[in-house]
Amino acid sequence: MLASGPMEPEVPTERGGPAGDPAGMRAAMAAYIASLHRAYLDAIVGLTPGDRARLPLLRAGRFTVAAVGARNLHVVGTTDALPAPAGPEVVIDGREGDLEWVVRFFDPVVLPALGMLDDTSPGSGERIRGLLGLSTIVYHLTVPPGGGLTAHHAQHAGTGLAHTHAAAVRDYDALTHLLPRQERLVAEMRAAELSDLGAATLLLARAIAPGDDQLAGWDLSTTPPEQSRRRLLAVSREPR
């Protein structure tokens, strides 16, 4: 198997572990992320080496995972180069198979603006990323209070993430082949979707296929990036 390693520690079933135990909370989060990445690697074993190499996490090399504590727990993978931690910030290194990362923990003590953020409203993901100053996102997962940092939850999240990444890689490779004169816009759209920028993804899809009524009629604030990508692929495959 591509993803192998030592047995994972047991993860507390409640978010963050026992109350008042910061070290236990961080250990639970680190174990959850390791389980997530292990499941990701397990899910892509059947892909060709070339397809695996194009997946965002494999292409990233060493990346950062921001564990952000607000009302929900946000797990944000980024390839941005961040400065060394300062003050009370804690980091934990991790490695699984071909993946290597560092977990950095952010809460209102480290980043006071998090204490004033309502991350239950639409667009909160972008606001979280904005507070951290992140631009290149490889994933952003949200665990609600009581959702649990269990290995079972991590396995489902990691498997789903791998399938999503693999589908996007195939679709954008197809779009690049079908639309060689629009290759630059397709590349920008790929980057926008990777960063979960739904409005930007839809605007770029409209620019590539300006005559499509469906793309023109969709709401910028609510259309998921993958919906724009799939529609553009369908339009691009239609006979001219």
Residue 147 pLDDT:
62
- 3 state DSSP class of 76: strand
Distances (CA, A) of 156 to 40, 43, 99, 177, 212: 9, 10, 18, 32, 35
Residue 14 pLDDT:
36
Contacts (Cβ under 8 Å, ≥6 apart) of 123: 221
Where exactly are the structural domains of the chain? 22-167, 179-237
Distance CA 170, CA 178 (A): 12
Neighbours of 170 (CB within 10 A): 14
Find residue 139's DSSP bridge partners. Answer: 77
Distance CA 183, CA 193 (A): 15
Neighbours of 92 (CB within 10 A): 18
Distance CA 94, CA 6 (A): 13
Contacts (Cβ under 8 Å, ≥6 apart) of 97: 2, 3, 4, 5, 37, 38, 41
pTM: 0.78
Residue 239 burial (C-beta neighbours within 10 Å; 0-12, 13-18, 19+): exposed
Residue 127 pLDDT:
84
Residue 102 pLDDT:
96
CA proximity to 107, closest of 133, 83, 71 = 71
pLDDT profile of the chain (240 residues), mean per 10 = 30 41 85 96 92 90 91 90 87 94 92 82 79 89 77 92 93 95 95 86 97 96 93 91
Q: Residue 97 has which token pair?
A: 């198979």
Q: Residue 86 has which token pair?
A: 């300062």
Task: Using the structure block, give the residue that is written with the tokens 């239950």.
Answer: 120
